Amino acid sequence: MSKKQTLRGLVEASDESLQEAAEILLRGGLVAFPTETVYGLGANAHSEEAVRGIFAAKGRPAYNPLIVHVRDIAAAKQLVTSWPDEATKLAELFWPGPLTMVLPKQAIVPDLVTAGLETVALRVPSHPVAQALLAAAGIPLAAPSANRSMGVSPTTAQHVQNSLGSRIDLILDGGSTDVGIESIVIDLSGKLARILRPGSISAAQIESVIGPVTTAGGASGSLPRSSPGMLDRHYAPNAALELFDQNEQEQILKRLKKARSKGEKPGAIIWSGADVKDAETIQLAADPIGYARTIYAALHTLDDLGCNLILVEALPPTPEWSALRDRLKRATTA
Ligand code: TXA
Ligand code: MG
């Protein structure tokens, strides 16, 4: 009985569990950990074998590249062949934090990580548990959001447990994530910087640091698919999502009545105080920061309650809400 008992499943982040997590990662295993945005599913980014485990556990298509998490700017530079001034400026301001930069990759980054692309996506997370894990393991960690492919990203350890619990080695519990939506992804590998995925850091904030940026058209736009993982439908719960406008009170009532008559169990997510009767209704904050923090948890909750229809109140058309409008649009596109 002298052998130390191996931790498995969901554990509180602590010195001991972090050490165990680092050992698992160095052995090629999979560890879910909190970041400030959403929980990530980590593996040794230098090991193609370990990274293959991520794709298998998530059911993620091999054409969708992963973000590599590193401790600091110095560690990021070791994985790329060029580091433009824009990267320095953005990293100095936003790292550690919810910013991912795409840059030309070094050959040491396995092709599996980048889905065969010549570029790699890099991020320095600010969550203390993520930082401690990167320090303890001493390797870069490839880590997508810790959910089954196409599902809603996890913002608690329990969300990870529910979708991936039996498929991975360890889940480090660090509480609810703060930002609540995934990092902004910005491509700095071309002539003009391009936002591939919006996030809590706005385009205006980026432009104030590095000047004009373009925005990717996405998979449904006329531009070629630039970020292979930006599938139209993404971040979606099991339930069907429908957007509604708060002025459409009558339509909502009709919609709910119809749903009930078909035996569907409806849920609703609102922010303005819209009056939605006869549905499991979750009221979120009326500001984008507060809304982002709990929107995924709300979707998980309604899924868990067995709602098969979720009416989501449309968001304001202003720039502060654009990343959230993007996420809801992806969740509602069938
Ligand atoms: O906040 C986040 O970014 C979270 C936490 C865990 O860090 N991670 C996350 O990873 O959202 P994931 O795999 O769910 O999304 C990564 C996105 C995908 O849209 C992918 O296509 C894009 O980043 N991406 C990764 N590498 C890329 C590359 N070389 N070029 C273009 N896009 C890339
Ligand atoms: Mg994801």
Q: What is the pLDDT of residues 121-169, one digit of tens each?
A: 999 999 999 999 999 999 999 999 999 998 999 999 999 999 999 999 9
Q: Does residue 17 line the site of ligand 1, with CB under 6 A?
A: no
Q: How far is the CA of 220 from the centre of ligand 1 (A)?
A: 18
Rounded to an integer, the average pLDDT of 24-29 is 98
pLDDT of residue 68: 99
Ligand 1 atom closest to residue 230's alpha carbon, by position in its atom list:
19
Q: Does residue 104 line the site of ligand 1, with CB under 6 A?
A: no
Question: Over the chain, what is the mean pLDDT?
Answer: 92
Task: Quote the crossing angle between the two packed helices 157-164 and 288-304, to the nearest 10°.
Answer: 40
pLDDT of residue 221: 35
Q: Does residue 123 line the site of ligand 1, with CB under 6 A?
A: yes
> Is residue 43 a contact partner of residue 169, using CB atoms and an 8 Å limit?
no
> Is residue 286 a contact partner of residue 272, using CB atoms and an 8 Å limit?
yes
Of the ligands numbered here, which is closest to the C-alpha atom of 229? 1
Ligand 1 atom closest to residue 117's alpha carbon, by position in its atom list:
29
pLDDT of residue 210: 98
- C-alpha separations of 163 from 38, 103, 235 in Å: 14, 31, 13
Q: How far is the CA of 4 from the centre of ligand 2 (A)?
A: 34
Q: Is 99 helix (H, G, I), strand (E, B) or coil?
A: strand
**At which residue do the structure tokens 């109140």 appear?**
313
pLDDT of residue 234: 60
> Is residue 40 a contact partner of residue 146, using CB atoms and an 8 Å limit?
yes
Q: How far is the CA of 188 from the centre of ligand 2 (A)?
A: 21
pLDDT bin (cut points 50, 70, 90) of residue 1 is very low
Please give the Cα distance from 92 to 297 (Å, whole number).
Answer: 31
Question: Listing from the earlier edge strand, what are the strands of the sheet with 99-104?
Answer: 9-12, 170-173, 31-34, 39-44, 141-142, 67-69, 119-123, 99-104, 184-187, 194-197, 214-215
Q: Does residue 144 line the site of ligand 1, with CB under 6 A?
A: yes
Ligand 1 atom closest to residue 182's alpha carbon, by position in its atom list:
1
pLDDT of residue 224: 39
Examine the pLDDT at 29 and tell me if it is beyond 90.
Answer: yes
Please give the Cα distance from 320 to 100 (Å, whole number).
Answer: 19
Rounded to an integer, the average pLDDT of 216-227 is 47
pLDDT tens-digit readout, 313-333: 999 999 999 999 999 998 886
CA dihedral 183, 234, 333, 327 (to 10 degrees): -20
pLDDT tens-digit readout, 65-103: 999 999 999 999 999 999 999 999 999 999 999 999 999
pLDDT of residue 246: 75
153 versus 5: which is more confidently predicted?
Answer: 153
Rounded to an integer, the average pLDDT of 33-45 is 98
Residue 61: left if φ>0, alpha if ψ -120 to 50, beta else—which one?
A: beta
Pocket test for ligand 1, best of 102, 113, 179, 185 (most atoms within 8 A of CB): 185
The model's pTM is 0.94
Percent of the chain with pLDDT over 70: 92
Q: Does residue 130 line the site of ligand 1, with CB under 6 A?
A: no
Examine the pLDDT at 225 and tell me if it is beyond 50.
Answer: no
Examine the pLDDT at 217 and tell me if it is beyond 70.
Answer: no
Q: Does residue 171 line the site of ligand 1, with CB under 6 A?
A: no
Examine the pLDDT at 177 and tell me if it is beyond 50.
Answer: yes
Determine which residue's CA is closest to atom 12 belonging to ligand 1.
144
pLDDT tens-digit readout, 235-278: 677 889 999 887 787 888 888 888 889 999 999 999 997 778 78
Q: Does residue 196 line the site of ligand 1, with CB under 6 A?
A: yes
Q: What ranges in 69-171 are assigned the alpha helix state H?
A: 73-77, 85-94, 111-114, 128-137, 157-164
Percent of the chain with pLDDT over 90: 79
Pocket test for ligand 1, best of 54, 129, 145 (most atoms within 8 A of CB): 145
